[in-house]
Amino acid sequence: MTTRRKTIFGEIKNADELLACIKSYIPDEDFKLQYHRLGINLERNSIVSLKILETIKDIDYLQHYMIGGIYLNKYTDGKMYAPMHNHRKQKTNDGIVFPTHQFIISLGGTRMFKIGKKEVNMKHGDTVLFGTSSSW
């Protein structure tokens, strides 16, 4: 089995709609301070989760991925950030271990995003899929 890094960039069409939905249904006080950012873990059946899933359903490179959870980060100023970190491999009930990937949608202002040593300016509606990919 070989392991390689996989990074795919793109953009979504309905970024304005998605941002309006988040602002309408998630009050600021629901976001909790975590490390150097505000965050919230969404329920799979929430209105916002469904809107996110609807927004990304036609992205070709996501067709072979299972969505294990949806997490929102909120940055109120240029000083907030998510520290460098890794996500552990996931295990199914059958004991199958699989690598995790993160799919990010940037909404609102342009923000510097760092993946390893690479820095990217993420604009409103930009997306990135990254993580460890295994070939069997």
Interval 63-101: pLDDT, tens: 777 777 788 888 777 777 777 777 677 777 788 777 777
Interval 2-45: pLDDT, tens: 444 557 778 888 889 988 988 888 888 888 887 777 888 887 66
Q: How many CA atoms lie within 13 A of 135 on its CB side?
A: 5
Confirm whether pTM is higher than 0.85. Answer: no
- 106 burial level (CB within 10 Å; 0-12, 13-18, 19+): buried
Give me the chain's average pLDDT, please. 79
27 residue type, one letter = P
Q: Where are the beta strands (DSSP E) in 52-110?
A: 70-74, 90-91, 97-98, 101-105
Could you give the CA distance from residue 122 to residue 104 in angstroms, rounded to a whole number?
Answer: 10
Give me the domain span that covers residue 8.
Answer: 2-135
**How many domains does one find in the chain?**
1
